[in-house]
Structure 1
Amino acid sequence: MSTTTMAKGRALPTSLPWSGLLALSAAAFTAVVTELLPAGLLPRMAPALGVSEAQVGFLVTGYAVASFAGAIPLTVLLRGLPRRPVLVGTLLGFAASNAVVALSSSYGLTFTARLVAGLTGGTLWAMLVGYAARMVPAERRGRAIAIVLAGITLALSLGVPAGAALAQVVGWRAAFGALAGLAVLLVAWVRWRVPGFPGEPPGARLPLRRVAGLPGIPVVLSVTLLLLLGHQVMYTYVAPFAAHAGFGRTGLVLLVFGAATVAGIWLTGVLVDRCLRPALLGALALCSAVMPVLGGFAGTPAVLLSCVALWGVAFGGAPTLIQTALVDASGPAHADVATSLQTTVYNAGIAAGSLTGGVALEHLGAGALPWTSLPLVVGALVTVVLGRRHAFPAVRRRS
């Protein structure tokens, strides 16, 4: 039996290239831990840098803003370069920025290093999904993307807590030093197991506006925005909502949600290549069904935790399904630019959702959060239902 298939002159394995995909997943893991680790180390970093805990929190904000601002222009600037050197460059950027944070006693220098890390992260997120899609045949694209994006889930559920625990034992500087070392090791792994791909030749590079206007792309981006808006309204303020429900153990709520997202991404990896559209409709319908139950019955702990688990399963799988639909719509050749657009929309959804939830919390109280989230998630569901022709077809395109 043949072990390869051909795609534009390149032989692709019919079995999944696990080592290469896990290297990309580890890169995603490193990016998420790099972004969020300062949030768990505020009391430890503030005295060492001579600033308030709020200013240390701005190290996370600065990273996010740089990632948001840099994803599209850097992707467009670098799209003609060979892909593996760009990937290696992003990992070296993480290594350098984390090493500076580990050694710096200056808040200004630390903040600058975090901006560099954010620019690096925006570039990495724009290329990871497209890279995975080019490593496998079209019929295995969804599962490959699920493997890569599992790095995000593992970082949130295990990586960030482990980094915070390591900082308690050996100090926060050593934790950032370990992240720098991990990025260097990843460079070797990528060079060993991740195949090289050429950049886009000049004649094949669609302008940014044309990629954004490809059939299906605006619909996929709209679903991304609506889902992230609805999700962040609740997730950002899960602590005050749990307190409102009379359940003060926020850590347990977050643990249930995190474990459920791991189950969700595993389930998605099984389903995505066979039934992307039904799986996404099911995930969004589940999110939509959970919100009114939380709004009316969260005062019962079993109901609260069950709903949070269902919400985690649904949300854990949704990004992989949406990303796969995006690559289907753009084609692997334009996936980096399309994903840079989605990265920007994703971050905008996080920021706007957190703001919307904060306004609802301040003026209406925590009990209003599920009802604020509900129309946004339902909007994402309706958009998928209506986007049958190009964005979420019943039969996937295999380009």
Structure 2
Amino acid sequence: MTITESSNGPSPATAPRQGRLPGKALFGLFLAGFISILTECLPAGLLPEMSRTLHTSISLTGQTVTVYALATALGAIPLAWATATWPRRHVLQLALAVVAVTNTLTALSDDYTLTMVLRFVAGLGTGLIWPLLGGYAAQLAPEGRQGRAIAIALAGTPIGLALGIPLGTWLSSLGGWQLAFHASAAVTVMTMAWVLVTVPNLPGHPVDARFRIGRVLVVPGLRPILFALATYMIAHNLLYTYITDLLLQLGMADQTGWVLFAFGVTSVLSVLVVGTHIDRHLRKLAVSSTLLFGASVLVLGIVADAPVLVYVAVAAWGFAFGSSPSLFIGATINASGEAANVAQSITITVFSASIAIGGFVGGLLLAGLGTASLTWAALILLIIAATTVIGGARYAFPKKG
């Protein structure tokens, strides 16, 4: 993987020492991504409790995840352009402040409409964060190590996904679902303090008129990457948003925490393994990720009364998924060259829209066809994703990567 440097690279004053990754700064970006996705998926582990407080059904309460992702999808491009000239750390701090405030207010709300509005505003905050992370990390990294820097910065996304539901479930057992949102707000404030101290405040730059959306979308390879990303992420969210219902059908509702722990452990392991090899073997890793995820879903679809196989399948799913944001963002940066910043905003829009679609369609499938339909719908999507990745050998996922 060869990351193309954008024109707004770090100044000499903020550039890291040759060959050394700026670990503290990258950890700050990691935390920002972690908070964003943690806040997004937090309700998924709290749906029964939240639905009672908000006086709605579980499927309607599940749309608190959908509306958050929808806001991120709608806001990513316009907000990125509106703040393009702002200092980068200022944008990141503003976005984190929005997330902290809305999480606190969500914990205080017992009204469904107000909660949905707050979740939408929180999603707009994330719409500011995610387009920043990959490019910010690449600018802070020394030549030849941008891929690893991006993998570190984006690792907060899969780890947040892996830990969001179990953390929410655990905190809910201690003090109600509201405690989970209060804790998320507190961690966000601590992240703001870390970012303030450790992350260089790189200057913003206006969007180059050459890189408008229409022109960027015709860049060779970008559309297959976006299509593969969409099918992959919709498949994931069909299952992950309603994982508690899936495990209930498999007779493992009492083991939800441990199953999710297995997912989280292998997700973290995936980040560590893929981060080491992503600069040289992006294509192989992307193909392996889609195929392994598909095989895992197939096992979940046919398994019955075999808890060990469920654990194995979920662990393999976590390993496949853990590094997927880094793989797709890395492929986007490679394919788009000088248009990388705009392409990343488009990618985040697709990423977030896919989360929203996955949650929404999953709710429809759950209500209309039952839990079993989730696995088969996800498997079909993953077959499409794998076919697209494998077929993108020239531009999207080139064999040299």
TM-score, normalisation: structure 1 = 0.83
Instruction: For residue 81 of structure 1, give the secondary structure of its aligned residue in structure 2.
Output: coil
Deviations 1:276-304 (A, max 9, x none): 11111122222233344444445433333
Instruction: For residue 155 of structure 1, give the secondary structure of its aligned residue in structure 2.
Output: helix
| Alpha-carbon contact 1:22-1:147 (below 8 Å) kept | yes
Give the deviation of 1:24 after TM superposition: 0.9
Distance 2:119 2:360 in 1: 23
- Pick the aligned partner of 1:257 from 254, 263, 288: 263
Counterpart of 1:87 in structure 2 is: 92
| Alpha-carbon contact 1:127-1:335 (below 8 Å) kept | no
- Pick the aligned partner of 2:232 from 227, 235, 251: 227
| Alpha-carbon contact 1:238-1:250 (below 8 Å) kept | no
Counterpart of 2:384 in structure 1 is: 379
Distance 1:193 1:278 in 2: 34
| Alpha-carbon contact 1:239-1:250 (below 8 Å) kept | no
Instruction: For residue 274 of structure 1, give the secondary structure of its aligned residue in structure 2.
Output: coil
Amino acid at match of 1:185: M
Counterpart of 1:146 in structure 2 is: 151
Counterpart of 2:317 in structure 1 is: 311
| Alpha-carbon contact 1:59-1:111 (below 8 Å) kept | yes
Amino acid at match of 1:26: L
Amino acid at match of 2:345: S
Indicate whether 1:274 and 2:241 are aligned: no
Counterpart of 1:71 in structure 2 is: 76
Instruction: For residue 392 of structure 1, give the secondary structure of its aligned residue in structure 2.
Output: coil
Give the deviation of 1:340 after TM superposition: 2.4
| Alpha-carbon contact 2:45-2:244 (below 8 Å) kept | no
- Pick the aligned partner of 2:327 from 321, 344, 353: 321
Give the deviation of 1:90 after TM superposition: 0.8
> CA distance change for structure 1 residues 107 and 195 in 2, over 3 Å: closer, same or farther?
same
Distance 2:207 2:74 in 1: 24
> CA distance change for structure 1 residues 213 and 197 in 2, over 3 Å: closer, same or farther?
farther
Higher mean C-alpha deviation, range 369-378 or range 267-276: 369-378
Give the deviation of 1:171 after TM superposition: 5.9
Amino acid at match of 1:201: P
Counterpart of 2:294 in structure 1 is: 288
- Pick the aligned partner of 1:390 from 364, 383, 395: 395
| Alpha-carbon contact 1:62-1:111 (below 8 Å) kept | yes
Distance 1:164 1:365 in 2: 23
| Alpha-carbon contact 1:133-1:327 (below 8 Å) kept | no
Distance 1:354 1:257 in 2: 19
Once superposed, which parts of structure 1, at least 4 consecutive aligned residues long, lie more than 6 Å away?
none
> CA distance change for structure 1 residues 312 and 336 in 2, over 3 Å: closer, same or farther?
same
- Pick the aligned partner of 2:136 from 131, 135, 144: 131
Distance 2:122 2:362 in 1: 28
Give the deviation of 1:110 after TM superposition: 4.7
Distance 1:62 1:86 in 2: 22
Distance 2:176 2:375 in 1: 39
TM-score, normalisation: structure 2 = 0.83
Distance 1:75 1:174 in 2: 32
Look at both structures and tell me which one has the larger radius of gyration over its CA atoms. 1
Higher mean C-alpha deviation, range 20-29 or range 136-145: 136-145
Higher mean C-alpha deviation, range 126-135 or range 14-23: 126-135
**Structure 1: stretches of 5+ with no match in the other structure:** none
> CA distance change for structure 1 residues 66 and 80 in 2, over 3 Å: closer, same or farther?
same
- Pick the aligned partner of 2:206 from 189, 201, 210: 201
Distance 2:89 2:297 in 1: 42
Report sequence identity in percent. 40
Distance 2:387 2:322 in 1: 20
Give the deviation of 1:313 after TM superposition: 0.9
Instruction: For residue 34 of structure 2, give the secondary structure of its aligned residue in structure 1.
Output: helix
Higher mean C-alpha deviation, range 211-220 or range 228-237: 228-237
Give the deviation of 1:267 after TM superposition: 1.6
Amino acid at match of 2:270: G
Give the deviation of 1:17 after TM superposition: 0.7
| Residues paired across the two proteins, number | 390
Counterpart of 2:307 in structure 1 is: 301
> CA distance change for structure 1 residues 199 and 302 in 2, over 3 Å: closer, same or farther?
same
Give the deviation of 1:26 after TM superposition: 0.9
Distance 2:242 2:109 in 1: 33
Give the deviation of 1:206 after TM superposition: 1.6
Instruction: For residue 340 of structure 1, give the secondary structure of its aligned residue in structure 2.
Output: helix
| Alpha-carbon contact 1:70-1:119 (below 8 Å) kept | yes
Deviations 1:217-258 (A, max 9, x none): 112101101212333344445455445555555514333223
| Alpha-carbon contact 2:150-2:326 (below 8 Å) kept | yes
Instruction: For residue 139 of structure 1, give the secondary structure of its aligned residue in structure 2.
Output: coil
| Alpha-carbon contact 2:236-2:378 (below 8 Å) kept | yes
Give the deviation of 1:103 after TM superposition: 5.3
> CA distance change for structure 1 residues 289 and 180 in 2, over 3 Å: closer, same or farther?
closer
Counterpart of 1:17 in structure 2 is: 22
Amino acid at match of 1:136: A
> CA distance change for structure 1 residues 102 and 369 in 2, over 3 Å: closer, same or farther?
closer
Deviations 1:46-74 (A, max 9, x none): 777x7446576554443233222212221
Higher mean C-alpha deviation, range 354-363 or range 283-292: 354-363
Distance 1:82 1:205 in 2: 22
Counterpart of 1:34 in structure 2 is: 39
Indicate whether 1:115 and 2:96 are aligned: no
Give the deviation of 1:262 after TM superposition: 2.0
